[in-house]
Amino acid sequence: MKVKYDEEELELTPRFYDALVEAMCAECEMMAKAKSHNADCWTWGRCEISDLAASNGIAFYFGGEEDQPDDGLGDFAVKKKKGKGND
């Protein structure tokens, strides 16, 4: 997957991708344990990359089964944010 860094595109390494997925899995596990009364709200995660050079260039989104995106990516995935030069 190619991602933006300033005005360049670079290939996201498998190790970096896996680290982002692991961070999402770990957060869901931690929050489900800490907030056991609403553990079902932590069943999936998405990471959107817009620009790795920006302080807010990586965004995480989480939720429960009822609001999981129907994007065919499974429970945890990293994707390139669409728009603003990221198409």
pLDDT tens for 19-49 read 999 999 999 999 999 999 999 999 999 999 9
User: pTM of the predicted model, to two decimals?
Assistant: 0.88
Contacts of residue 87, Cβ cutoff 8 Å, sequence gap at least 6: none
- % of the chain at pLDDT higher than 90: 93
pLDDT at 84 over 80: no
pLDDT at 85 over 80: no
Q: What is the DSSP letter of 39?
A: G
SS3 20: helix
Coil, strand or helix: which one is 49?
strand
